[in-house]
Amino acid sequence: MSEGLPLIELSALAPGAPGRERALETLRDAARRLGFFRIGGHGVPALLDAALLAQARELFALPQADKRAIAMIGSPHFRGYTGPGAELTRGRVDWREQIDLGREELAQPPRAGRPVAARLHGPNQWPHALPQFRPVVLEWQRAIEGVLLQVLQACAEALGQPRDVFRPLYRDAPWLTMKLIRYPGRAEGEGDQGVGAHKDGELLSLILQDGIGGLQVARDDGSWIEAIPTAGSYVVNIGEQLELASDGYLKAAVHRVSSPPAGRERLSAAFFLGARLDATIPALQLPPALAREASGYTRDPDNPLLHDVGANTLKGRLRSHPDVAARHHADLLSPAP
């Protein structure tokens, strides 16, 4: 686990920046070989990151009644609070509590001709006891969306494509979600799955960590790299939508989080930038030199990747939160054998 994640300065990826070609090469190598890297020089104020984690800490310290009042089970849009043990990864229980949030938007009631994935659009659930929670979350969302759109444009150029090749996927309003997460400490022998090994389904993900480690990235040889928290930088990783678009040239890497030891807790914020739900992931025509190195995207018969963004996104939510799926979307579930 001695290898660290490469650090890329966002300012070095900007058009016309000194050393830009080297920065793009570093990005291309990290995104292909590891699927993970760190982004520094992003311009997001450290005070905003600190304010977000402070609001997360206050949220998770609320009485259980306040957290149950905004439980995800009450949201057909998969927004809200989830307690420890209520989310699954590959059928196994994750030991963390979290709140899922997205772009603040209106629900889209079902109607003829409207894609079923439109059910995911809707309002967030906000904790009434924390008046600063909503404005801090929405300010951080706007800042991180801007950061990841710049990274996405740089990924396009690293693939030999026009800078705006992915614009049809994010024009007007890309699909975005985020989680604020608390990993409670676990005593030895209790198991340490904070969140199990998985890939992210979107275009790009970004993780803000506190000072407690636990995020681990899988190497091809089966070993793991520790994504050690580093002040002033975010961890960014490739999602399955970019792996799909690049025929596997870019790597959506498996990663996991181990629970901290007893008596400690870990706080993090995870932000997911995805394509619009009404979009279709394109198959890019890579330059010949890159196309020869594209290994093809991962094909998992238990969880197939779909070019239809809405169908693929909805599939993931139904699998991860079976209680919400059963209450609000029973018509989409296969009958039990």
Q: For the segment 171-219, what is each residue's pLDDT rounded down to a tens digit?
A: 988 999 999 999 998 877 777 888 999 999 999 999 999 999 999 999 9
Digit-coded pLDDT (tens) for 100-112 = 999 999 998 878 7
pLDDT at 92 (0 to 100): 78
pLDDT at 11 (0 to 100): 95
Amino acid 184 reads P
pLDDT at 53 (0 to 100): 98
Answer yes or no: is 59 within a domain: yes
Q: Domain of 231: which CATH number? A: 2.60.120.330
pLDDT at 301 (0 to 100): 60
| β-pair type (7-9, 36-40) | parallel
**C-alpha gyration radius of the chain:** 19
- CB–CB of 144/206 below 8 Å? yes
Q: Which domain range does residue 266 map to? A: 7-331
Answer yes or no: is 1 within a domain: no
Answer yes or no: is 153 within a domain: yes
pLDDT at 300 (0 to 100): 66
Answer yes or no: is 255 within a domain: yes
- The number of distinct structural domains making up the chain is 1
Report d(CA 100, CA 106) in Å as an integer.
Answer: 16
pTM surpassing 0.85?
Answer: yes
Burial tier of 298 (Cβ tally within 10 Å: 0-12, 13-18, 19+): middle
pLDDT at 111 (0 to 100): 81
**Phi, psi (degrees; rounded to nearest 5) at 157:** -65, -35
For the chain, list residues with pLDDT below 70. Answer: 1-3, 299-304, 336-337
